[in-house]
Structure 1
Amino acid sequence: MPLLRRRARTEPQAPPRAIAAAAMPMSGPGVLRASRARKQTSNQDWQREGWYYFDVIGELRGPLVWIANAVSQADVHATELDPETGKPTGPSDNPMAKAAAAQVLGGAARRGGLLRVLALCWQVPGEAWVIVKPTPKRRGQPQPDEWIVLPPSKVKAKGSGDNARWEYTDPMTGADVALEPSARLFRIWCPHPADYIQADSAVRPALPICREVEKASQNIAGRLDSRLASAGLLALADDLDFPKGEHETTAMAFMDELLAAAETGIQQPGTAAAVVPLVFNAPGELIANGGAAAFIDTATEFVTSVVELRDNALARLAATLDMPRDVAAGTQGESNHWSAWQVEESTYKIFIEPLLKEIGDAITQEWFRPALVAMGMDADQAEAYEIGWDTTAIVARPDDTENLRDLHDRLLISDEYMLTENGVPEDARPDDAEYTKRLLEKLVTGAPSLLSDPNVARAMGVEVTVAPAATGVSGEVTGGELEAPAQPEQRALPATQGAEPAPADVPDGLVAAAELLVFDALSRAGGRLITRENRGQHNDTPKWELHTVIATADPGALLRDSFQFSDRVADAYGINSVALDAVLLAYTRSLLADGRAHDRDLLTARLRLMDRRR
């Protein structure tokens, strides 16, 4: 819907902040004063020349369009400013601010095209005019304002005195249209450092270089079109003895024969006629002196260096334009893998962000905040909002997969961060059961004897029946706890009952080291269990026992990145590190799942059942 119906101010005023934009009076004496202030006539010559070279020099047009297309991918949103720092805090949730921002530059449908025109005007003439016109109601319903972006030559001051007004060239019809008082007109420009009101651009200092490129190209094109420059001259001596035939002179007869031979060689390149030399008679002294026929090359040293001169001029042009060298030279596709208009973050920060910032500040000052006030927001409150940009579609960082994988393997970043940086959705993460099963599959692949542990087999969904003598197990594992059998198991040879060797005892040092690993894992899990809701409620409970007072929903997630020193413990005691990892993981998971505290005897029993062979 139209947001601004009021008449713009009648006198040009300096903007309250350093923003390259100013609203213009719609009619009256202020129109001519604003027009004289920008000194339009003195600017038109170099601006017109800039557009000319934009049209005729592809090496200039290509990089400018590349930058403009990158800018056109930006999306707009309303952002709220921090009252203390004045810096934007991100997209705002204010419905009024969001509704106004959605209409900026004609809405989502037209915003990309208008941003592209703005970016090109910023780089070539250094200024652009933005017109916001209220649209008549349709079927009684308000319509969004119409936005128009024009180069400076398409907006002119007309009339004099109180009848002075602005006229612009309609981009759709090409007709000159008087700007109605209900519209809003403002200028966005790149100010010249020596004269702030005057426009400056990246193309302006490149104009002399563009003239060199054009003249060199014209020289090359002219010589390519000239038979004289491309073929040279062939001088024939009058003393040649060659049949004249129907020709007036011997030279003319020889030339006719030479051209016929050349035509035969072109039409029949695979025949002897294409390589057999042309034979003619000449006095011996002429042949000895090399004077029977002479080829005169009309090319000069300067002509042969024109291409080199043009290449040097193009290199200077690439260095002059306000953009990365590889973009200006048209080689950005050779040095990166980004998509068509994506740029690396440093390029965006240096070359594109300043342009978007100027455009955003101009629209904020000259339209967005007045629109918020027109919608009913208090003027002081409107000052807390501005136009921000979403540059997700523009900025592409280099592929850091290898660096991220290295940091993840060294336990310096979390699984959640790894997934986010690689663009993996959260619902792609395996659930607790699948994670445990896949982890145990890897462990069992390295140590198949782990299947003798009923907990491991059960977690993998495998039923394994192992003879007691093979496992050395004198009891059963039920519900995560070791229970003694109700009665001694009968053997085939009663005489040997009770004589089999007892399981090897676990060294006290191994138990102590395993306990430290368990306490570390439980402490990590306890830290992850603390949330905003329960923070400060269990200050008397050690972190490694928080799982006994806080419900645990995902033990697997709580234990990620734990037991990173288990391989060193295994090496110190000469045992299987994979088996030790599996026992510690299964034991700690059972504590978290059941909400039980650590039990040294139970851990020792688990370690005793572990296959310690390397």
Structure 2
Amino acid sequence: MTTPARRRGRRPESTAAQEAEALTPSRSTVANTRIRNVPGAIIGHYNLPNSTDDTEALTAAAQVVHGPNVAQTSKAQWKKMPWQQESWELRKEIGEFRFAGDRVARGVSRVVFFGAKVENPMNAPTPVEDGPALDLAQGMFGSRARTQQVTKRAAQHLSFAGESLFVISEDEHGNHTLEPRSTNEVTGSGTNWKLNDGIENRNLRDDELVVRCWIPDPEYSALPDCPARAVLSNARTLRELSKHTSAQVESRLAGAGMLLVPQEIEALAGQGASGFDDEDDIDPFVRDLMVSMVTPVKDRDSASALVPFVAKLPAELIDKIKHITFTTPLDPQAKDLRSEEIRRIALGMDAPPEVLLGMGSGGANHWSAWQISEDEVTLSISPVAATICHALTVGWYQPALEQLGVPDWDKYQIWFDTSPLALRPDRSKDAQSLFDKDELSAEALLRESGFDDDDVPDDTERTRRLMIRLLDANPNFAYALLPAIVPNIDRSVIDALTGVTAAPANNPGDENPTPSRGAGTADRTDTAIPDPPDSTITPDDGATP
């Protein structure tokens, strides 16, 4: 990968000058660092490594718009785009649109961010292990839970609006903290900058740093761009289709329509009390019909739920009864139209369409929908993570290291590791097959099955399992093995399990006495019962077969 091009600051002239600058009280610790920023947009071009020999190109932009030693100007630092507000509104209303953007943000939240140094531009950055570079990075990313939350929010801004404003300040412990803010939250120019999080409205302090992070538009690099911008029309159409379907459903709930009946219809008496306060103003037939319809709704056990309402009328009036409804029939094409718009949203947002449509070959469902493939990590998550790293590098990390007098400060950068997102292939079945063929070690079988040495049985358990298998293969070993498997077992229990009764007293002339066998054991072979196990075998106390 190549490091971003930027303007170099003054380098110390000698080693002594470096040491003297590092010992200056205002620069001696990371906590006391007042970051000297470089105003102006900085464009970085990165080559992101992936699983193949090729690389994925990335262009990111960053600009310090507020902070110590930043030239104050009344000129607008960024331009709010109308499509950004529409994107936020559609995210609140369209679940599929929100899911596609948040999917990338959730992936970025699992990425590990760290301080690194570029020793060779052709190789990946090497994580720093000591010095101010490590202290700065650990102070910013030391809390894993906090880092996940802030990077997720930064990625959401980049996914739906194409830009985010990083407000960097120092906490009570002397560590620098990152707060990604949307362009609606931070406003101002010159020395008057305000932050409105929706509840609290406050002025930004002079020592707080604001770094604008954005994905440059291919046509105008100062303007933001993002995948959501291209699918806003699809999300808008999907919203209108949802409203259309919702209106059709609501029309069915607005009323039951009108029932036209001839005046001559007379209800049979004795079909239930009306329950109406003013019965004189209600037609008897209408009253009884309403009671028969309302009663089963209130009481499911009522006979009215099963028994039809009975009325008598002349035969020529039967076909005069009409029911008029005002409901709108459901559009049979609405489902297909919604699916097509969802598919286009998924393609435009760099998400697999089957994840949103639930048509994966593996049967994508609610629980597997968040699984992230290797292609998504390379094509969607890594570019967003690298954009965040670029803004933090040129806007905060390198200027801070330069002020601390770190040699080659421009070779340091914030970088990331996507290994936590890697899906571990399930090779347990192949490992078991090779193990059964004596072509794989037990250690490898454990590893591929997700276990380790702590899960291996000890010698006592192995011995006990072996005795159980021997007993299962030949029950005649019961007298020898059961006392070791089940300590203190009564001999009568063994007799009952094996069908062997107590042996009769031996006559003096008998040389080979044999135990008698109980009923049902006549077909057994006369296998000699071995002696009890040697006392060196120590059974597991309290174990059961």
Q: What TM bracket, shorter-length normalisation?
A: 0.5 to 0.7
Deviation at 1:121, TM superposition (A): 0.8
Contact 2:105 2:155 in 1 (8 A): yes
* Residue among 241, 254, 258 paired with 1:233: 258
- Per mean C-alpha deviation after superposition, the further-off stretch among 23-32 and 293-302 is 23-32
Q: 1:169 matched to which residue of 2?
A: 195
SS at match of 1:78: strand
Deviations 1:244-279 (A, max 9, x none): 996668xx4433221111123334545544333333
Distance 2:369 2:32 in 1: 36
Other-structure match for 1:24 = 64
Cα 1:406/1:374, change in 2 over 3 Å: farther
The alignment partner of 2:424 has SS state of coil
Determine if contact 2:343/2:353 at 8 Å carries over to the other structure.
no
- Residue of structure 2 in register with 1:154 after alignment: 185
Q: Deviations over 1:222-243 (max 9, x none)?
A: 4545566552332223454569
Per the normalisation by structure 1, the TM-score is 0.57
Amino acid at match of 1:232: G
Larger of the two Rg values belongs to structure: 1
State the distance in 1 between where 2:170 and 2:367 align: 40
Q: 1:365 aligns with which of 387, 394, 404?
A: 394
Contact 1:363/1:387 (<8 A) preserved:
yes
1:46 maps onto 2:71 in alignment: no
Deviation track 1:455-500 (CA, whole Å, cap 9, x = no partner) reads xxxxxxxxxxxxxxxxxxxxxxxxxxxxxxxxxxxxxxxxxxxxxx
Structure 2 CA distance for aligned equivalents of residues 415 and 338 of structure 1: 32
Which of 218, 225, 239 in structure 2 is aligned with 1:200? Answer: 225
Letter in 1 for 2:122: T
Amino acid at match of 1:52: E
Q: Which of residues 330, 346, 350 is equivalent to 1:322?
A: 350
Q: 1:430 and 1:305, CA in 2 relative to 1: closer, same or farther beyond 3 A?
A: closer
Secondary structure, aligned partner of 2:66: coil
Q: Is the 8 A contact 1:126 1:200 kept in 2?
A: yes
Q: Provide the aligned length of Structure 1 versus Structure 2.
A: 416
Question: CA separation in 1, counterparts of 2:451 and 2:175?
Answer: 38
Q: Which amino acid aligns with 1:123?
A: S
Q: Mean Cα displacement is larger for which, 392-401 or 265-274?
A: 265-274
The aligned counterpart of 1:401 is 428
Distance 1:347 1:184 in 2: 32
Is 1:387 matched with 2:414? yes
Distance (Å, rounded) in 2 between the aligned partners of 1:211 and 1:114 = 29
Shift of 1:149: 0.9
Deviation of the 1:422 alpha carbon: 4.9
- The amino acid across from 2:79 in the alignment is K
C-alpha contact 2:160 2:229 (8 A) present in aligned 1:
yes
1:75 is the counterpart of 2:112: yes
Q: Is the alpha carbon distance of 1:269 and 1:109 closer, same or farther for their aligned partners in structure 2, counting shifts above 3 Å?
A: closer
Structure 2: distance between partners of 1:300 and 1:337: 32
Corresponding letter in the other structure for 1:350: L
Task: Note the C-alpha offset of 1:145.
Answer: 2.0
Give the structure 1 partner of residue 129 of structure 2: 93
Question: 1:202 Cα shift?
Answer: 2.8
Judged with a 3 Å threshold, the aligned counterparts in structure 2 of structure 1 residues 93 and 398 are, in CA distance, closer, same or farther, namely same
Q: By how many angstroms is 1:177 displaced? A: 1.5
Q: Write the mapping of 1:51-450 to structure 2, written as runs, cut at 5 A.
A: 51-83=88-120, 85-89=122-126, 91-104=127-140, 107-108=143-144, 110-134=146-170, 143-158=174-189, 164-165=190-191, 167-169=193-195, 171=197, 174-180=200-206, 182-226=207-251, 229=254, 231-238=256-263, 240=265, 252-270=283-301, 272-287=303-318, 290=319, 292-301=320-329, 306=334, 309-329=337-357, 335=364, 343-379=372-408, 382-406=409-433, 421-422=448-449, 424-425=451-452
Alignment check: 8 A CA contact 2:109 2:149 kept: yes
Cα deviations by residue, 1:11-63 (Å, 9 ceiling, x for unpaired): 4455577642322243887645462xx432xx1x2211221222233333344
Letter paired with 2:90: Y
Aligned partners of 1:24 and 1:34 also within 8 Å: no
Deviation of 1:317 (Å): 3.3
Whether the 8 Å contact between 2:136 and 2:175 is mirrored in structure 1 is no
Tell me the secondary structure at the aligned position of residue 195 of structure 1: coil
Between stretches 4-13 and 111-120, larger displacement belongs to 4-13
Listed one character per residue, the Cα deviations across residues 261-308 of structure 1 (whole Å, up to 9, x for unaligned) are 112333454554433333334343333xx2x21112323445565556
Q: 1:13 to 1:77 in 2, by over 3 A?
A: closer
Amino acid at match of 2:222: I
| Bigger mean CA offset, 119-128 vs 402-411 | 402-411
1:5 CA drift (Å)? 1.2
Kept in 2: contact 1:265–1:274 (CA 8 A): yes
Structure 1 residue ranges without an equivalent (≥5): 159-163, 446-614
AA of the residue aligned to 2:97: L
Confirm or deny: 8 A CA contact 1:168 1:179 kept in the other structure. no
State the Cα deviation string for residues 148-198 of structure 1 (Å, max 9, x = none). Answer: 21012222233xxxxx24624154962142452x44322222233333322
Q: Is the 8 A contact 2:217 2:224 kept in 1?
A: yes
- Which digits, 9 at most, give the CA deviation of each residue in 1:286-336, with x for residues without a partner? 33xx2x211123234455655564455444434443223344347889648
**Contact 1:236 1:293 (C-alpha < 8 Å) held by counterparts:** yes
Q: 1:246 to 1:73 in 2, by over 3 A?
A: closer
CA deviations on 1:421-459 (whole Å, 9 max, x unpaired) are 55555687899xx8xx99xx99xx9xxxxxxxxxxxxxx
2:227 aligned counterpart, secondary structure: coil
Gaps of 5+ in 2: 1-29, 47-57, 270-277, 471-545
In structure 2, the CA distance between the partners of 1:13 and 1:270, relative to structure 1 (3 Å rule), is closer
CA distance in structure 2 between the aligned counterparts of 1:353 and 1:105, rounded to whole angstroms = 18
* Alpha-carbon shift at residue 112 of structure 1 (Å): 1.4
| Distance apart, 1:342 and its partner CA | 5.5
SS at match of 2:222: strand
Contact map agreement 1:126 1:201 (CA 8 A) in 2: yes
2:177 corresponds to which letter in structure 1? E
State the one-letter code of the partner of 1:92.
V
User: What is the 5 A alignment of 1:501-580?
Assistant: none
How far apart are residue 130 of structure 1 and its match? 0.8
Q: How many Å separate the matches in 2 of 1:222 and 1:301?
A: 10
Checking the alignment, whether the CA contact within 8 Å between 1:65 and 1:120 is kept in structure 2 is yes
Work out the CA distance in 2 between the residues paired with 1:229 and 1:173: 38
Local SS of the residue matching 1:49: helix
Per the alignment, residue 470 of structure 1 pairs with none
Would you tell me which structure has more helix in proportion to its own residues?
Answer: 1
Rounded to whole Å, the distance in 1 between the matches of 2:295 and 2:457 is 76
State the alpha-carbon separation in 1 of the partners of residues 263 and 382 from structure 2.
74
C-alpha contact 1:20 1:189 (8 A) present in aligned 2: yes
- Counterparts of 1:20 and 1:220, CA distance in 2: 41
